[in-house]
Structure 1
Amino acid sequence: MNDQLAQLAEAGVSIWLDDLSRELLRSGDLQRLLAGKHVVGVTTNPTIFASALAMGDAYDQQLRESAAAGKTVDTTLFELTTADVRDACDVLRPVYNATAGIDGRVSIEVDPRLAQDTTKTIDMARKLHQAVDRPNVMIKIPATVAGLPAITQVVAEGISVNVTLIFALDRYQQVMQAYLDGLDQARTAGHDLHTIHSVASFFVSRVDAEVDARLDKLGTDQAKALRGQAALANARLAYRAYEQLCATSRWQDLADAGANPQRPLWASTGVKDPAYPDTMYVTQLVTAGTVNTMPGKTMDAFADHGHVTGDTVRDTHDDAQRTFADLAALGIDLDEVTDLLEREGLEKFDKSWEELTAAVGRERVAAS
């Protein structure tokens, strides 16, 4: 086992791969990542699936069969993606069993075009859960205003959820409450709370990309000194909010009934600024009971030269608050930044889905 990644796992960080393809499954590479790089979970998104379709001929047979059967592009896309996630769930099932369902998870996202429609998001989450038909699947729901009641309803039905696209601290508070509301309703409905799991995917690198651009425009020494600090401060304050929720009597009551905590997950951990260490969003966000979902490039970088220097999250909230205050003093409005990033994130999700749909259409023609 790789020493650096083993140390990260030993520090209590679950390592999830932000990638999936049929080639990764058929070649045995996913299984090797479990054995050699301590991977215990997988996340997917439309961009990942579009890239997978463009690689080799692994999907050709299913595409031909779908075209011959007269299935729509949307139906074909649904069947392709759920098939890959189902197979990945089977690969990760031993991890799921060994960790009592905490890890061994594979996430699949609802159609992002539904992000502003609560009812349709709930319906799609149900369909994805039923189609994959594996206990270790997690359904990804964006943390939009419309997504919050969808999270509650889906959790209430006993479905495990990966809440994605979280940037703002106030929205994260709402996400945590939505999860607790779902657990309360699940308990009332008689569901076994032990079987329900959730993660809250807090996006990291995009915050620095936006804030740094604003700091660069200011160009002062104070602004330069704050580059690369906003994202970590935001994530660390999110973790503090998680700690505070876990100290409430409401959470303790649910925990006593068997509920699992909604673990913080650090997403978008690939460094976008080459001036920063390529493992920064891993090394600086180490604390037990969290998940770090990494693209392959970031995972390889950490395996090569990453370091675990202890807990880099707990007891950092005072410094993080100072960073926020310093940014505010320079006129950087974090609420405006996170609102912008959510809108852009939804636009990127929509664009990726459109590209994925177009790719399925093209590949069906090419495979026929």
Structure 2
Amino acid sequence: MTQNDSTTQNPRTQALSDAGVAVWLDDLSRERLRSGSLARLVAEHNVVGVTTNPTIFAGALSEGDAYDAQLGDLAGTDVETAVEKITTDDVRSAADVLRPVYDATGGIDGRVSIEVDPRLAHDADATVETARRLWSTVDRPNIFIKIPATVEGLDAIERVTAEGISVNVTLIFSLERYVAVMDAYASGLEAARANGINLSPVASVASFFISRVDAAIDPLLTAVGTPEAIELQGRSAIANARLAFAAYEQFSASDRWQDLAGTGANPQRPLWASTGVKDPNYPDTLYVDQLVTRGVVNTMPEKTLDAFADHGQVSGDTVTTLYGDARTVLAELSDVGVSLSDVTDRLESEGVEKFETSWSELLETGRSGLESNR
């Protein structure tokens, strides 16, 4: 649900929204805000949320001149302070664009995510400190602080949630880690409740990564080379995500969660992340069409969103009706000698490293901008 009349929306994204999928955009830039592009996507493509990451901000800062004036104003400021000022300003502005959605949905959607410095992924104390600062600096109720689902991140997620800060848990690849994420969120809510914090404004999403799983597993299946292995290509990521939703349903039905829900707690919705296909041989809407069920978020790069708006299909629930198929796929993956747990462990490590690299690129771009706009 958004504040917009559904007759103004693209019929395909409207169908996705009607099926219970919250459509979010995986992109943000100063130019997108200034041009009105974000507002148009809200009005015309059912967009009800925004996610960002260091890669997105690095790209935004390196293109065009939208940041030149602010970089000039920040000349003489150290680069990390300048980058935090720039990114929090963008997130605050996006949150203001989406505030009507937040109000219309009772705080469920209309959210914008900003990520803690990924170099802190294995430092819980520093992550908590940074999350507090970002939450206070942006100063909007409709944001999420993104924290990676590392072992140390789990501790930070619990502690931040206990303070009433809404969290987007990112870089989730395995079912085992996802269960631990749900536990950390619940533990944080229990601590918040014990401290007298009102749970109803606190929300969370758990970002379960999709396309990177197939991108890692498909070459392993090619190396195996049997017909059985080749048949599994392009199916592992979707199967993994479907079983994540099964775990979410099981947790949601538990006495523990029902007790929290009874005192105003909001569910930690699964969010399908990394939904742009990496293999050009796959349909460009694969990770949207095949992951439709009520109560999830799908955050899409604009290219994927445009593709879905053009030719995406909603053909009923493609998650809960296919748990059996998902279990079969993962069993067959093991049978051909591919270890999903080995792959997901590696993807988590690589994911942190990639975001650290992007953060370094963001800082370097900011440094160059500060120097050239003196």
Task: Give me the TM-score of the superposition, normalised by structure 1.
Answer: 0.99
- Are residues 1:23 and 2:31 paired? yes
SS of residue matched to 1:264:
strand
SS of residue matched to 1:316:
helix
SS of residue matched to 2:321:
coil
Deviation at 1:366, TM superposition (A): 1.9
Give the corresponding residue for 2:280.
Answer: 274
What is the distance in 1 between the residues matched to 2:147 and 2:321?
30
Q: Deviations over 1:288-329 (max 9, x none)?
A: 110000000000000000000000001322211111110101
Give the corresponding residue for 2:130.
Answer: 124
**Match of residue 366, structure 2, among 339, 355, 360:** 360
Give the corresponding residue for 1:48.
Answer: 56
Bigger mean CA deviation after superposition, 314-323 or 271-280? 314-323
SS of residue matched to 1:200:
strand
Give the corresponding residue for 1:33.
Answer: 41
Moved over 3 A (4+): none
Deviation at 1:358, TM superposition (A): 0.4
What is the distance in 1 between the residues matched to 2:275 and 2:54?
18
Query: Which consecutive unaligned segments of at least 5 residues does structure 2 have?
Result: 1-8
What is the distance in 1 between the residues matched to 2:92 and 2:259?
34
Give the corresponding residue for 2:290.
Answer: 284
Give the corresponding residue for 1:302.
Answer: 308
Deviation at 1:162, TM superposition (A): 0.2
Query: Which consecutive unaligned segments of at least 5 residues does structure 1 have?
Result: none
- Are residues 1:97 and 2:103 paired? yes
How many residues align? The count is 366
**Match of residue 114, structure 2, among 105, 108, 116:** 108
Deviation at 1:10, TM superposition (A): 0.6
What is the distance in 1 between the residues matched to 2:59 and 2:152?
29
Task: Give me the TM-score of the superposition, normalised by structure 2.
Answer: 0.97
Give the corresponding residue for 2:248.
Answer: 242
Give the corresponding residue for 1:325.
Answer: 331
> Equivalent residues in 2 for 1:339-358 (5 A)?
339-358=345-364
Deviation at 1:90, TM superposition (A): 0.4
Give the corresponding residue for 1:231.
Answer: 237
What is the distance in 2 between the residues matched to 1:278 and 1:57?
31
**Match of residue 10, structure 1, among 6, 12, 18:** 18
Q: Which one-letter code corresponds to 2:60 in the other structure?
A: A
Deviation at 1:71, TM superposition (A): 1.3
Q: Deviations over 1:191-222 (max 9, x none)?
A: 11111000000000000011101001111111
CA RMSD of aligned residues (A): 0.6
Give the corresponding residue for 2:198.
Answer: 192
Give the corresponding residue for 1:143.
Answer: 149
What is the distance in 1 between the residues matched to 2:129 and 2:219?
39
Q: Which one-letter code corresponds to 2:310 in the other structure?
A: D
Give the corresponding residue for 1:57.
Answer: 65
What is the distance in 1 between the residues matched to 2:234 and 2:171?
20
Give the corresponding residue for 1:175.
Answer: 181
What is the distance in 1 between the residues matched to 2:322 and 2:153?
30
Give the corresponding residue for 2:341.
Answer: 335
What is the distance in 2 between the residues matched to 1:205 and 1:152?
27
Deviation at 1:280, TM superposition (A): 0.3
Q: Deviations over 1:92-147 (max 9, x none)?
A: 00000000000000000000000000000000000000000000010000000000
**Match of residue 140, structure 2, among 131, 134, 143:** 134
